[in-house]
Structure 1
Amino acid sequence: MSFLDDIRATLTRRDNALSQLLLINVLVFVVLLLIRVTLYLVTAGRLDITLVLEWLAVPSGPWTLLTRPWTLLTYAFVHTDFFHILFNLLNLYWFGSLVREYLGDRKLVSLYILGALAGAALYLLAYNFVPVFAGRPAMLYGASAGVTAIILGAATLLPDYTFSIIFLGPVRIKYIAAVVVLVSIAGIDGGNPGGEIAHLGGALLGFLFIKQLQRGRDLGRPVQAIADWVGGLLSGPRLRVTHRGSAAAAPAASGARKGTLPKPEQEDLDAILDKISRSGYESLSKDEKQRLFKASQK
């Protein structure tokens, strides 16, 4: 299998959201790197990558944003600095693996996208209404807001889960998340205030996402619905194959199309959601978490 075939397989395989997010970020980074070097060689440094970033990054001006609304999403996959993308993707892999294991691929993507949107929203509010930033031209890009949402989401979901950190040993991820938030707050008066503000927007979204999920409300449903719609457009119309058989199969098929679960399975899911409402997500057993995850995929 060729290199391009490997990329195509990764991007098209189902239940592979974490690898897909990592790969998209890497591919965009490589393309921008090639464009940057090409511009330098062809124009002798007269043009740089800013020319391209202006169409991918979120501008601070609302009128400019109206002409480039897609930047609210594209910015979350754009990096131009090696260490920027390295740290973002390491955190995405470590914390994203936890979210994916316990909540599944769809919740992971929802956290990333909603975190990016929340980060962009807080950045725009700050740069248009906070006096120290208002009127200052800026561009926002990078996966940090989406990644921070995943970090806070994982820490809210599994606060006592530990990572082994060099020189420190086992550290609970709730403390790692707290440090991430404090560092972002401390950096607001530094060289990258827009990015730090976006981190805080993503952090708030990650916390709220899990808290609402524990109460039985999935904030990611709009993201999942749009993803399903886009996936349906890309896959094209599906052929329906019908078989002559007993009429008893018809109601079951109709119920499946409406997204309903068989009654015993629905009652089991309701019991798990009630337990979350009473005692929180952490009170679930591993088996109950797996059943909740499987139900969320239907």
Structure 2
Amino acid sequence: MNWLTHLYQNYLSRSIVEKIIIINVVVFILTYLFNTLSFLFQIDGNFIVNWFSLQPDFELLLYRPWTIISYGFLHVGFFHILFNMLVLYYFGNLFLDFFNHKQFLVYFLLGIMGGGFVYMISYNYLPGLKTQESLLLGASAGVMAVVIGISSYIPHYSMRFRFIGNVKLLYIAVVLVVLDVVQIPTGNAGGHLAHLGGSLIGLTMTKYFDQGLGLIRWVEQLMSKREKKPLKTVYKNSQKKAYQKRETKSEEQHRIDSILDKISKSGYDTLTKEEKDYLFNAGKK
């Protein structure tokens, strides 16, 4: 059993982004194992897909309420999960540079839920979709919530691509949303609508972040009753007490806001070393 203990401890040491990726990969492998068993024993359908994917029937949701979240951990093929996990890895780690792991989890899970509800409403009330049979699975809505959330928070932050060069997050977000909109009639309408639902959650959560602190704190309390520390929005700080002694909370927040504004307008690389150090020290638990 030592190897199981080692695997579990290794899992616990990972960041929240890596933990989500590991869960998705494990569920993906289990899904394909059940596919094999279903084939060998002539079982109709896949148990995991049947019970954990999301269907547009609101009445069925009452009997399987977990599916509004569990569908976000299922994938239909290798390239489906590969693309989702790659995007989640890069944008998720960037997200953690400015937010904490609980905020990431809130964005991701609410994105999945928001995408699921947009999918269900669309297939129940839009004439072009009401007659179609559909099944929703995939982490894309949660991934899009994270992508659009961080992109709207620091829109002028640039990511470097090998054959393209530097591209601002704002442009990446716009391209992804436009692609989802124009691809709705071409196939996988439910998936693209769920992406848009997740994108809306990410944009709304960032735009009204201050007003949404109550919701995030409530979710945090559900996840950990022991921690009741104030919510952090920027880099982690190992010298929090020292900063609180030197300046008031309002003065510190004002300086943080001005640095974040500078990042939003011209990118992180334009910060001075002093500003980077201050930002790093000002938010660490």
Q: Normalization by structure 2: what TM-score?
A: 0.81
Distance in 1 of aligned mates of 2:249 and 2:140: 34
Counterpart code for 1:212: Y
Distance in 1 of aligned mates of 2:186 and 2:198: 19
Deviating 4+ runs (over 6 angstroms): none
5+ residue gaps, structure 2? 231-239, 264-274
Aligned to 1:286: 276
Counterpart code for 1:100: L
1:3 is displaced (CA, Å) by: 5.4
Distance in 1 of aligned mates of 2:252 and 2:149: 20
- SS of 1:163 mapped into structure 2: strand
Counterpart code for 1:40: F
Contact residue 10 and residue 19 of structure 1 kept, 8 A: no
Counterpart code for 1:81: G
Q: Given the alignment of the two structures, is residue 48 of structure 1 paired with residue 41 of structure 2, yes or no?
A: no
Aligned to 1:8: 8
Contact residue 153 and residue 206 of structure 1 kept, 8 A: yes
1:259 is displaced (CA, Å) by: 4.6
Task: Call closer, same or farther: CA 1:78–1:6 in 2, change over 3 Å.
Answer: farther
Distance in 2 of aligned mates of 1:103 and 1:275: 17
Of residues 165, 173, 185, the one that matches 2:161 is 165
Counterpart code for 2:55: P
Distance in 1 of aligned mates of 2:189 and 2:3: 39
Quick one: percent identity of the two aligned structures? 31
Counterpart code for 1:176: I
Q: Given the alignment of the two structures, is residue 32 of structure 1 paired with residue 31 of structure 2, yes or no?
A: yes
Contact residue 276 and residue 283 of structure 1 kept, 8 A: no
Distance in 1 of aligned mates of 2:99 and 2:256: 14
Aligned to 1:155: 151
Task: Call closer, same or farther: CA 1:222–1:195 in 2, change over 3 Å.
Answer: farther
C-alpha deviations, 1:240-289, integer Å up to 9, x for none? xxxxxxxxxxxxxxxxx865798x83974444445677x68434743454
Distance in 2 of aligned mates of 1:273 and 1:129: 45
Aligned to 1:249: none
- SS of 2:23 mapped into structure 1: helix
Distance in 1 of aligned mates of 2:152 and 2:3: 38
C-alpha deviations, 1:174-202, integer Å up to 9, x for none? 11111110111012112211110110111
Contact residue 272 and residue 288 of structure 1 kept, 8 A: no
Contact residue 144 and residue 199 of structure 2 kept, 8 A: yes
Aligned to 2:91: 95
Task: Call closer, same or farther: CA 1:272–1:62 in 2, change over 3 Å.
Answer: farther
1:292 is displaced (CA, Å) by: 5.2
Aligned to 1:265: 244
Distance in 2 of aligned mates of 1:210 and 1:5: 38
Aligned to 1:181: 177
Distance in 2 of aligned mates of 1:117 and 1:190: 24
Task: Call closer, same or farther: CA 1:67–1:122 in 2, change over 3 Å.
Answer: same
Contact residue 95 and residue 151 of structure 1 kept, 8 A: yes
1:48 is displaced (CA, Å) by: 3.4
Q: Given the alignment of the two structures, is residue 19 of structure 1 paired with residue 41 of structure 2, yes or no?
A: no
Aligned to 1:66: 62
Greater C-alpha radius of gyration: 1
Aligned residues: 263
RMSD of aligned Cα (Å):
2.9
Between 185-194 and 217-226, report the one with greater CA deviation.
Answer: 217-226
Q: How does 1:196-211 map to 2 (within 5 A)?
A: 196-211=192-207
